[in-house]
Amino acid sequence: MAAATVSVCVPAYNAASTLEETLRSILDQDVAVDLVVLDNASKDATQSIAQSFSDSRVRVFRNDVVLPIGANWNKAVEFSNGRLVKVVCADDVLMPGSLETQLRVMADPTIALSSAKFDVIDEDGALRESRLGIPGLEGLHTPRTLMRTIVRRGPADFGPTAAAMFRREHFDRVGGFRGDLVFPMDVDLFARVTAFGMFFGMPELVAAWRDSTFNMCSRTSTVSKLSDMLRFHHRIARDYPEFLCRADVLAGDMRLMRAAFQRLAVRSRTVVSRGNRLQVDC
């Protein structure tokens, strides 16, 4: 088989309930693909499920100990052989034909990063929301436009890792994922690799992100997310002053403050409601 142009890297930790569906969605694509599965020392059947695929395109690796998410994702990409890379979490899925469509976009060497629309599914795979992502970013855009949008709108609006594709050479040049910021870790990478070229936002639907109780996003507290995002805004602006200005950072910080106040208001209403129920019960 000819060497694959694209590597799809699947970092997996205790992903037995969803991994098979994820891998099948990748292997069913109509392109040559190098599929890397890195089991992060899972305690469930993740390893055996990954090894059950008798397909030469699948290469399975396993860590001896559990690595932090950033180190694990970097290690998965380091195993890749393709010039292009896509990272797919072990509970997300790719849409039929999505790799071929995205590879056509990435055939333009001036494009450093592409991403696209995505669906949100629940733990059982039922559709919750459709065609989200890349707000105002369809078509060709400069690094400045991409960075400003990510900082001002946030990573959730941009889209999941599975919707994006980048170049391995750029990944290596920026040093990979910076795992000290867990929640914005993927968009932090996307912003940095785009400094080497253009961003293309695809109108097509390429992936589905699973909103489940067992993924990292669901298990990360709101305070941690807001704190990570605040640090991300200021660090990426320091790293790329030619693309981001103080007004961009201020707009992003104000968005975080509004989110924090909204969260506080929801919690306050919940506490009051519980207190009222207790009084009635007494």
Q: What is the pLDDT of residues 223-277, one digit of tens each?
A: 888 999 999 999 999 999 999 999 999 999 999 999 888 877 665 555 445 555 5
Residue 126's Cα: distance from chain center in Å? 20
Q: What is the pLDDT of residues 40-82, one digit of tens each?
A: 999 999 999 999 999 999 999 999 999 999 999 999 999 999 9
Predicted pLDDT of residue 155 = 87
> Is residue 242 assigned to a domain?
no
Q: What is the pLDDT of residues 117-167, one digit of tens each?
A: 999 999 999 999 999 999 999 999 999 999 999 999 998 889 999 999 999
Asked if the model's pLDDT at residue 1 lies above 50, the reply is no
Answer yes or no: are the C-beta atoms of 90 and 18 closer than 8 Å.
yes
> Is residue 259 assigned to a domain?
no
User: CA-to-CA distance for 282 and 272, rounded, in angstroms?
Assistant: 15
User: CA-to-CA distance for 242 and 237, rounded, in angstroms?
Assistant: 9
Strands 139-141 and 6-12: unpaired
* Other beta carbons less than 10 A from residue 247's beta carbon: 10
Number of domains making up the chain: 1
Residue 22's Cα: distance from chain center in Å? 14
Tokens describing residue 72: 């694990």
Coil vs helix vs strand at 229: helix
Predicted pLDDT of residue 216 = 58
175 burial (CB, 10 Å; 0-12 / 13-18 / 19+) is: exposed
Predicted pLDDT of residue 265 = 66
> Is residue 170 assigned to a domain?
yes
The reported pTM is: 0.90
C-alpha closest to that of 80 among 170, 215, 199, 191: 170
> Is residue 138 assigned to a domain?
yes
Domain carrying residue 103: 6-219
The CATH number linked to 87 is: 3.90.550.10
Asked if the model's pLDDT at residue 187 lies above 60, the reply is yes
Q: Above pLDDT 90, what percent of the chain?
A: 83
> Is residue 205 assigned to a domain?
yes
Mean pLDDT of all residues belonging to the chain: 92
Coil vs helix vs strand at 64: coil
> Is residue 104 assigned to a domain?
yes
Asked if the model's pLDDT at residue 220 lies above 90, the reply is no
Higher pLDDT, 262 or 88: 88
DSSP 127-188: EEEEEE--TT-BEEE-HHHHHHHHHHH-HHHH--GGG-EEEHHHHHHHTS--TTSSTTHHHH
Predicted pLDDT of residue 259 = 87
